[in-house]
Amino acid sequence: MTDCSKHSGADILMDPHRNHGVAFSQKERAELGLRGLLPPVPASSEQQVARMHEMLSRIELPIDKAMFLDSLHAHDESLFFRLLIERTEEYMPIVYTPTVGEVCQRFSHIFRYPRGLYISINDAGQVRELVENVPNEEVDVIVVTDGQRILGLGDQGLNGMGIPVGKLSLYTACAGIDPAKTLPVVIDVGTNNQEYLNDPLYLGLRHERITGERYAALIEEFVQEVRRRWPNVLIQFEDFGNHNAFELLHRYQEKILCFNDDIQGTAAVTLSGVYSALRIKKETLAEQRFLFLGAGEAATGIATLIVDALVDEGMDRAEAYKHCCLFDSKGLVTASRTGLAANKLPFAHDLDSADKFIDAVRLVRPTCIVGVAAQPGAFNSEVLREMAAINEHPMVFALSNPTSRAECDAETAYRETDGRALFASGSPFPPVDVCGKHFVPRQGNNCYVFPGLGLGAVFAKATWMPDGMFLTAARELAKLVSEEDLAQGSLYPSLGEVRAASVKIGAAVADYAYRHGLATADRPDDLEAAVAAFMYKPE
């Protein structure tokens, strides 16, 4: 008869949640049946991280680094997260933007380890069974996409699964959400990406997207079933197509614990960067005029939160809307335009029309331009020079992802404004020396806020997330930007500080929930300490 205890050590080494590889101590090895299954001398955590880093340094292509990290994630979760936490600046661009974009584009060609939950339109009516198959006993955070608008790369269908996986890695690394309690989900209703429909290795359904009632019913079934199994779960909607993103937020925001990261998370991080820029400009929010290139989820999400902030500072709402103008694929959004989507209407002002962005810049004379239309190079020399002529310190936010979709790079932004731009970008750019000054641009990316927002909401067991929580997160993040950061042109803290930022944001968001009667967990005496203690640490 086989003695099962003899196999337990080997099982542990195969389980990414429990495996610590050569870091197991002699005592643990004896207790867990690991003696002889590992090199004899235990290694320290520092040695393990150094070994992985050395191997990664030998790999040239970011996509190959991503695959290496993915296999580490699949074999030794705590080491993966230690590496990500200790070297966030270096490895976030691999696990997240820009490399995650390529991971999605190649997803069906590099797929090795199934991770998360795949729900297809063919599963309609049977989603409960799929949810029951998920091995996680508890789930605190779900990131779900239907792959229709992945970064600025368009419809990626099932390949979009790379995004929930990447975002949830950040939830753990940046905000200490226990990885065993995270669940990436992709809803596959088909794709309109012809390249994938023709690709023999594509892993998703090979038909055009199902829309309308069948789509809505599948999302509803998914929401019902995950909440039936995990009643307090936070659902983060990510990279849905424009129409569905607004529709789902409208449908669920006040009913369940959820948020749309592209609309609301992006709004918080951008407003935070604006607050930092205003410290350099020594001006108020009320003195600014914003012109958005793009009028979708990110643009109207950001513009609406700016309006909320202005109203909170005492401005009349109708007046506040006038501080934000949109420019979409048909030109400047004006009151004379017909058939505008609901999210654009409050920003359709009595203005002359402008077909070219540069003409809109001349007309609106913005203090800040925000690029969220995935139109690379749109902030060209002419636009940037015009901004520099209008403003002593033009705010330039080139937020589209990945790097290939950025409206301009950091070097161009600083050079074309004679080093006067206050710049942030969705994807990372290296430091730049322009006009005798050293600039360290940082990322205006929702990764600074969504982990902390989720942490706070999960900690407090919030019932739902009102817009005020996002304003709170924006202001909390802005407080963490130091004078040294501002002196080098950084509108955000370094990525190495994002875990500390999440504690502050988490505590502030949880506090908001307690104060507004939205929390169902007991309030601890020292909220910030309790939030910090709640966080998973890969030890």
Ligand X SMILES: NC(=O)C1=CN([C@@H]2O[C@H](COP(=O)(O)OP(=O)(O)OC[C@H]3O[C@@H](n4cnc5c(N)ncnc54)[C@H](OP(=O)(O)O)[C@@H]3O)[C@@H](O)[C@H]2O)C=CC1
Helix (H, G, I), strand (E, B) or coil at 251: helix
Q: Among the candidate windows 181-189, 271-279, 290-298, 347-355, which touches ligand X by CB under 6 A?
A: 290-298
The DSSP call for residue 264 is I
> Smallest gap, in angstroms, from Cβ of residue 261 to Mg ion?
5
> Smallest gap, in angstroms, from Cβ of residue 100 to ligand X?
11
* 221 binds ligand CC(=O)C(=O)O, rule: CB under 6 A: no
The beta-carbon contacts of 55-61 under 8 Å, at least 24 apart in sequence, are 56/91
Q: Per 3-state DSSP, what percentage of the chain is helix, strand, and coil (rounded to 5)?
A: 50, 10, 40
Kindly tell me which of 52 and 370 has the beta carbon lying closer to ligand X: 370
Output the DSSP codes for 219-246: HHHHHHHHHHHSTT-EEEE-S--HHHHH
Choosing from 2, 5, 198, 329, the residue that interacts with ligand X (CB under 6 A) is 329
Residue 369's DSSP bridge partners are 291, 396
The residue whose two tokens read 């939830």 is: 171
Q: Among the candidate windows 26-34, 160-168, 192-200, 262-270, which touches ligand X by CB under 6 A?
A: 262-270
CA distance 68 to 209: 32
CA distance 284 to 63: 43
* 296 binds ligand X, rule: CB under 6 A: yes
* 94-153: contacts with ligand X (CB under 6 A): 149, 151-152
User: Do residues 399 and 292 make contact, with C-beta atoms less than 8 angstroms apart?
Assistant: no
* 481 binds ligand X, rule: CB under 6 A: no
* 385-424: contacts with ligand X (CB under 6 A): 399-401, 405
* 270 binds ligand CC(=O)C(=O)O, rule: CB under 6 A: no
Among 82, 67, 65, which residue's Cα sits nearest to residue 20? 82
Catalytic residue among 167, 344, 461, 504: 167
Kindly tell me which of 299 and 498 has the beta carbon lying closer to ligand X: 299
* 155 binds Mg ion, rule: CB under 5 A: no
Q: Among the candidate windows 124-132, 173-181, 210-218, 326-334, which touches ligand X by CB under 6 A?
A: 326-334
CA distance 158 to 142: 16
Choosing from 196, 222, 252, 327, the residue that interacts with ligand X (CB under 6 A) is 327
* 169 binds ligand CC(=O)C(=O)O, rule: CB under 6 A: no
The amino acid at residue 398 is A
* 99 binds ligand CC(=O)C(=O)O, rule: CB under 6 A: no
CA distance 88 to 85: 5
The amino acid at residue 213 is E
User: Do residues 45 and 70 make contact, with C-beta atoms less than 8 angstroms apart?
Assistant: no
Structure tokens at 221: 């079934």
Site string for ligand CC(=O)C(=O)O, 416-435 (x = CB under 6 A): ----------x---------
Kindly tell me which of 150 and 278 has the beta carbon lying closer to Mg ion: 150
> Smallest gap, in angstroms, from Cβ of residue 262 to ligand CC(=O)C(=O)O?
5
* 262 binds Mg ion, rule: CB under 5 A: yes
CA atoms within 13 A on the CB side of 283: 16
* Total chain residues near ligand CC(=O)C(=O)O (CB under 6 A): 8
Kindly tell me which of 151 and 396 has the beta carbon lying closer to ligand CC(=O)C(=O)O: 151
* 364-383: contacts with ligand X (CB under 6 A): 372-375
62: left (phi over 0), alpha (psi -120 to 50) or beta: alpha
Kindly tell me which of 221 and 239 has the beta carbon lying closer to ligand CC(=O)C(=O)O: 239
* 430-469: contacts with ligand CC(=O)C(=O)O (CB under 6 A): 445-446
Kindly tell me which of 141 and 299 has the beta carbon lying closer to ligand X: 299
> Smallest gap, in angstroms, from Cβ of residue 82 to ligand CC(=O)C(=O)O?
24
User: Do residues 12 and 24 make contact, with C-beta atoms less than 8 angstroms apart?
Assistant: no
* 407 binds ligand CC(=O)C(=O)O, rule: CB under 6 A: no
User: Do residues 87 and 94 make contact, with C-beta atoms less than 8 angstroms apart?
Assistant: no
- Can you give the three-state secondary structure of 36-63, one letter per residue? CCCCCCCCCHHHHHHHHHHHHHCCCCHH
96 has catalytic annotation: yes
CA distance 487 to 120: 50
Choosing from 76, 77, 221, 239, the residue that interacts with Mg ion (CB under 5 A) is 239
> CA–CA distance from 521 to each of 458, 462, 513, 530, 533 (Å)?
9, 8, 10, 12, 15
Catalytic residue among 6, 65, 91, 96: 96
Residue 464's Cβ-count burial label (10 Å; 0-12, 13-18, 19+) is: middle
Helix (H, G, I), strand (E, B) or coil at 325: strand
Structure tokens at 450: 């969504």
167 has catalytic annotation: yes
Kindly tell me which of 262 and 328 has the beta carbon lying closer to Mg ion: 262
The residue whose two tokens read 């270096």 is: 90
> Smallest gap, in angstroms, from Cβ of residue 261 to ligand X?
7
User: Do residues 258 and 237 make contact, with C-beta atoms less than 8 angstroms apart?
Assistant: yes
The residues binding Mg ion (CB under 5 A) are 239, 262
The residues binding ligand X (CB under 6 A) are 149, 151-152, 242, 262, 266, 269, 293-299, 327-330, 372-375, 399-401, 405, 426, 444-446
- Which residues are tagged catalytic? 96, 167
The residues binding ligand CC(=O)C(=O)O (CB under 6 A) are 151, 239, 261-262, 401, 426, 445-446
